[in-house]
Amino acid sequence: MIRQLRLSSGLVMLAYVTMHLLNHAVGLISLRAMDEVLRYVVGIWSNYPAQTLLYGSFLVHYGLSLWALWERRSLRLRASELSQIVLGFAIPILLARHVVGTRIASDFFHADTGHYTLLLWTFFVNAPSHGYLQMLVLVIAWAHAMIGLHFWLRVRPWYARLQSPALAVAVLVPVLSLLGMIEAGRHVAALAAADPDWTRQAFAQMTLPSPETQRALDAITKALTRLFVGVVAAVLLARLGRRIWQRRHGLVRIGYPDGRFVEVTPGTSVLESSRIAGIPHAHVCGGRGRCSTCRVRMRGEVHGIDPPGPDELRVLRRIGAPANIRLACQLRPRGPVEVTPLLPPFAQAREGRQRVGVSLGSEREIAILFADIRGFTALSEGRLPYDVVFVLNRYFSAMGRAIDAAGGRVDKFIGDGVMALFGIEGGTQAGCREALAAARLMSERLGELNFSLQAELDRPLRIGIGIHCGPVIVGEMGYGNAAAITAIGDAVNTASRLEGLTKEYDCELVVSEETVRRAGFDLSAFPHHDIEIRGKREMLTVRTLDRATNLPHPGTAPSRPTKPMKANAAV
């Protein structure tokens, strides 16, 4: 609730600031256009509901920011996080004069202060120091909003793709706004310099603040500035007092895997304690409880731990975390606790979206599919590298889409082969059905691909597919950007060998009978073979299909085989 309120109130103010800055940018066209657009902007924001929303959002956002400052036990933060806090609290202090000189002057003193001509004359002719301050606060407010927006969006899967255009917009808006202000300000200054009577004429129709009103406005500005500075100072002092008091009443010990421990005041989050001790700890969302990259496993006896709140619970459920896994940024122990960070310190948002069981490694029964292009080496001989890459990419794209459509996960492309996993989340039965559906789809897509590539290929592409199911270890393996969820185990090796057998049986699909049985398919009409598996006593029964398109759709009768055969082989 607090998080949502803070976010929504911030978004309301961002909408207001964006309109304001774009209005400034219109100064690049003309002063008149600026004032025209201002009329619309004021029309949107000057009615009672909009003003209640805007001022209410400011109060909520500011109040919650003070609360967040109080809640933090440490200000050892990344530069971007620290600057967002500092900039955020600087905005009302720096903006007080402008707000009092425009909104309060007009709403409570009936002064005509909301005109660009007057404001720009003030900023560029009468009091340039106010103009510099105004430009500074414009940049500060925008930077604060953009950092907040970045931390909010960076956990979204699509954000990485939009980051470059978003950065361009984030830079362009304030730059155009400043340029608009400067251009229009220079125009006003030139008019005022060219004609000494211009000021009198320009302001003749406006009700300007009287000297008494101006004194009252100055007093309000001073009082507001002191209030904003005082409130922040009070929270910082209160934090200091709490720290001294808590240190006298005992510290909490937080242990880490390599024997290191940190003693912190009660209520300090585990993420904060990592920062205090200089222990690298992933925290993509900056400790806002959104990304789950800070997740930790609690070890041993646990005392003095509050259960997760609704926001944390939602994230923990999303990643399938058991009870002993918590978000370090939300976990504020009041008693000793031993924790193990579960993701590397340089983890990205993508890793935060992975479910706990899968990324950490667990034994699961899944279906594994291997596919390979038959005779691709001969096919690629004498071709330009460009042609080979083109054909391969078309093939990978067609196979990848078929696997995705069937509900599988492409594990990797190896040379001209592909490995895919099915049933990681849905279980073995579903995985076996999906794997067989994928084989049929792959065969269909290959037919379409061959048709569209007939001008480029001497002969159609052929594939061999092997499918098996069984217990494997699934987890994230690899290093850096090359780390990904994959599976290892006998079942993987067997599936790979079944794919190799497609050459021997001159067929498109070799699937283990166990997979067929678990999928609930009836392939009794197709040839079967009992094969030996190295290192195992039992034979493995497999079915062979000339074309995977002969696989039945679930719930339908199987197609007839085109070439029955039976043989024994060792794999």
Total Cβ atoms within 10 A of residue 223? 12
Residue partners of 329: CB distance under 8 A and separation at least 6: 269, 270, 271, 272, 283, 285, 287, 288, 289, 294
- Of the residues 292, 493, 494, 544, which one makes contact with ligand FES according to CB under 6 A: 292
Chain residue at closest Cβ approach to ligand FES: 329
Choose one: 106-114, 284-292, 317-325, 384-392; the region binding ligand FES (CB under 6 A): 284-292
321 binds ligand FES (CB under 6 A): no
Residue placing its CB nearer to ligand FES in the complex, 140 or 331? 331
3-state secondary structure of 447: helix
Q: Are 498 and 518 in contact (CB under 8 A)?
A: no
Choose one: 45-53, 129-137, 170-178, 280-288; the region binding ligand FES (CB under 6 A): 280-288
Find the shortest distance in angstroms from Cβ 337 to ligand FES. 16
Return the closest-CA partner of residue 27 out of 175, 184, 176: 184
Q: Which helix (H) or strand (E) holds 181?
A: helix 159-194
Choose one: 1-9, 289-297, 371-379, 406-414; the region binding ligand FES (CB under 6 A): 289-297
The per-type count for the chain, helices as H runs and strands as E runs, is 19, 14
Tokens matching residue 45: 């924001």
Residue placing its CB nearer to ligand FES in the complex, 256 or 526? 256
DSSP result, 486-532: EEESHHHHHHHHHHHHHHHTT-SEEEEHHHHHHHT---TTS-EEEEE
Find the shortest distance in angstroms from Cβ 155 to ligand FES. 7
Residue placing its CB nearer to ligand FES in the complex, 58 or 151? 151
Number of residues that bind ligand FES (CB under 6 A): 13
Residue placing its CB nearer to ligand FES in the complex, 282 or 432? 282
Report the C-alpha gap between 293 and 351 in whole angstroms: 7
- Of the residues 90, 284, 421, 449, which one makes contact with ligand FES according to CB under 6 A: 284
Report the C-alpha gap between 167 and 22 in whole angstroms: 17
331 binds ligand FES (CB under 6 A): no
CA dihedral 155, 160, 165, 169 (to 10 degrees): 20
Residue placing its CB nearer to ligand FES in the complex, 272 or 546? 272
Phi first, then psi, for residue 16 (nearest 5°) are: -65, -45
3-state secondary structure of 395: helix
Beta bridge partners of 327: 295
Residue placing its CB nearer to ligand FES in the complex, 290 or 409? 290
| Residues 500-539 as x/- pattern, contact with ligand FES by CB under 6 A | ----------------------------------------
Find the shortest distance in angstroms from Cβ 329 to ligand FES. 3
275 binds ligand FES (CB under 6 A): no
Which ranges constitute the DSSP H helices of 278-328? 310-318
| Residues 104-123 as x/- pattern, contact with ligand FES by CB under 6 A | --------------------
Tokens matching residue 246: 């808590």
Q: Are 283 and 329 in contact (CB under 8 A)?
A: yes
Q: What is the DSSP code (8-state) at residue 559? A: P
Report the C-alpha gap between 313 and 323 in whole angstroms: 10
Choose one: 61-69, 116-124, 196-204, 279-287; the region binding ligand FES (CB under 6 A): 279-287
Find the shortest distance in angstroms from Cβ 287 to ligand FES. 5
Tokens matching residue 375: 């005779």
294 binds ligand FES (CB under 6 A): yes
Query: How many alpha carbons fall within 13 Å on the CB side of residue 105?
Result: 28
- Of the residues 274, 293, 443, 515, which one makes contact with ligand FES according to CB under 6 A: 293
Q: Are 369 and 495 in contact (CB under 8 A)?
A: yes
Query: What is the C-alpha end-to-end distance of the chain, expressed in Å?
Result: 59
Q: Are 17 and 87 in contact (CB under 8 A)?
A: no
287 binds ligand FES (CB under 6 A): yes
Report the C-alpha gap between 40 and 537 in whole angstroms: 82
Query: Helices 128-153 & 159-194, crossing angle to 10 degrees?
Result: 170
329 binds ligand FES (CB under 6 A): yes
- Of the residues 115, 290, 468, 529, which one makes contact with ligand FES according to CB under 6 A: 290
432 binds ligand FES (CB under 6 A): no
283 binds ligand FES (CB under 6 A): yes
270 binds ligand FES (CB under 6 A): no
Find the shortest distance in angstroms from Cβ 81 to ligand FES. 10
Residue placing its CB nearer to ligand FES in the complex, 156 or 215? 156
Residue placing its CB nearer to ligand FES in the complex, 148 or 408? 148
Residue placing its CB nearer to ligand FES in the complex, 285 or 542? 285
Choose one: 17-25, 278-286, 372-380, 508-516; the region binding ligand FES (CB under 6 A): 278-286
Q: Are 414 and 486 in contact (CB under 8 A)?
A: no
Residue placing its CB nearer to ligand FES in the complex, 150 or 288? 288
493 binds ligand FES (CB under 6 A): no
Choose one: 127-135, 292-300, 418-426, 469-477; the region binding ligand FES (CB under 6 A): 292-300
The contact set with ligand FES (CB under 6 A) reads 283-285, 287-294, 327, 329
